[in-house]
Amino acid sequence: MTYRDHTKVVHIGNKVIGGGNPIMIQSMTNTPTEDVTATVNQILALEKAGCDIVRSTVPNQEAANAIKEIKKQIHIPLVADIHFDYKMAIAAMENGADKIRINPGNIGSDDKIEAVVKTAKERNIPIRVGVNSGSLEKDILLKYGGVTADGLVESALDKVGIIEKFGYDNLVISIKSSNVMLCVDAHRKLAEKTNYPLHVGITEAGTLYGGNIKSSIGLGIILNEGIGDTIRVSLSGDPTEEIRTAKTILKTLGLRKGGIEVVSCPTCGRTKIDLIGLANKVENMVQEFPLDIKVAVMGCAVNGPGEAREADIGIAGGLHEGLLIKKGEVVKKVPESELLDALRYELEHWNA
Ligand code: SF4
Q: Do 146 and 273 sit in the same domain of this protein?
A: no
Q: Do 156 and 271 sit in the same domain of this protein?
A: no
For the entire predicted model, the pTM comes to 0.91
Which of 300, 309, 336 most suits a substitution to test ligand 1, by most atoms within 8 Å of the C-beta? 300
Q: Do 67 and 132 sit in the same domain of this protein?
A: yes
Q: Do 239 and 119 sit in the same domain of this protein?
A: yes
Helices (H), the chain: 36-49, 61-73, 86-94, 104-107, 110-123, 138-144, 149-165, 180-193, 208-224, 239-252, 275-286, 304-310, 339-348
pLDDT of residue 303: 67
Could you say which of 252, 286, 312 is where a domain stops? Answer: 252
Q: Do 246 and 273 sit in the same domain of this protein?
A: no
pLDDT digits (tens, 9 = 90+) for 310-346: 789 999 999 999 999 998 888 999 999 999 999 999 9
Q: Do 91 and 188 sit in the same domain of this protein?
A: yes
Q: Do 19 and 75 sit in the same domain of this protein?
A: yes
Question: Coil, helix or strand for 330?
Answer: strand
Exposure b/e, 222-260, CB count within 10 A at least 16 = b: bbeeebbbbbbbbbebbbbbbbbbbbbbbbeeebbeebb
140-142-143-147 Cα dihedral, nearest 10 degrees: 60
DSSP state of 312: S
Question: Coil, helix or strand for 211?
Answer: helix
| Contacts with 188 (C-beta within 8 Å, 6 or more apart), sequence order | 149, 222, 225, 227
For the chain, what percent of residues have pLDDT higher than 90? 84
pLDDT band at 283 (very low <50, low <70, confident <90, very high): very high
Domain count across the chain: 2
pLDDT of residue 105: 82
Q: Do 233 and 211 sit in the same domain of this protein?
A: yes
Kindly report the CATH number assigned to the domain that includes residue 218.
3.20.20.20
pLDDT mean over 206-219 = 92
Q: Do 267 and 234 sit in the same domain of this protein?
A: no
Report the C-alpha gap between 230 and 218 in whole angstroms.
Answer: 14
- Residue 208 CA, chain-centre distance (Å), reads 14
Which of 263, 268, 275, 276 most suits a substitution to test ligand 1, by most atoms within 8 Å of the C-beta? 268
pLDDT digits (tens, 9 = 90+) for 252-274: 999 998 889 999 999 999 999 99
Q: Do 298 and 248 sit in the same domain of this protein?
A: no
pLDDT band at 1 (very low <50, low <70, confident <90, very high): confident
Question: Coil, helix or strand for 251?
Answer: helix
pLDDT digits (tens, 9 = 90+) for 237-256: 899 999 999 999 999 999 99
Strand partners, 80: 56, 100
Could you say which of 252, 282, 313 is where a domain stops? Answer: 252
pLDDT of 94 above 70: yes
State if residue 271 touches ligand 1 by the CB under 6 angstroms criterion: yes
State if residue 303 touches ligand 1 by the CB under 6 angstroms criterion: yes
Q: Where is pLDDT greater, at 167 or 301?
A: 167
pLDDT digits (tens, 9 = 90+) for 105-160: 888 888 999 999 999 999 999 999 999 888 889 999 999 999 999 999 999 999 99
Cα of 109 vs centre of ligand 1, distance in Å, is 63
pLDDT of residue 99: 98
Q: Do 275 and 330 sit in the same domain of this protein?
A: yes
Report the C-alpha gap between 294 and 328 in whole angstroms.
Answer: 12
Strand partners, 200: 231
Kindly report the CATH number assigned to the domain that includes residue 270.
3.30.413.10
Question: Coil, helix or strand for 9?
Answer: coil
Residue 151 exposure: Cα atoms within 13 Å on the Cβ side: 19
Residue 319 lies in domain: 261-348
Could you say which of 225, 252, 279 is where a domain stops? Answer: 252
pLDDT of residue 259: 85
* Complete DSSP assignment for 90-102: HHHHHTT-SEEEE
Measured in Å, how far apart are the chain's first and last C-alpha atoms? 32
| Mean pLDDT of the chain, nearest integer | 94
Q: Do 117 and 28 sit in the same domain of this protein?
A: yes
State if residue 299 touches ligand 1 by the CB under 6 angstroms criterion: yes
pLDDT of residue 119: 97
- Residue 159 CA, chain-centre distance (Å), reads 24
pLDDT of 304 above 60: no
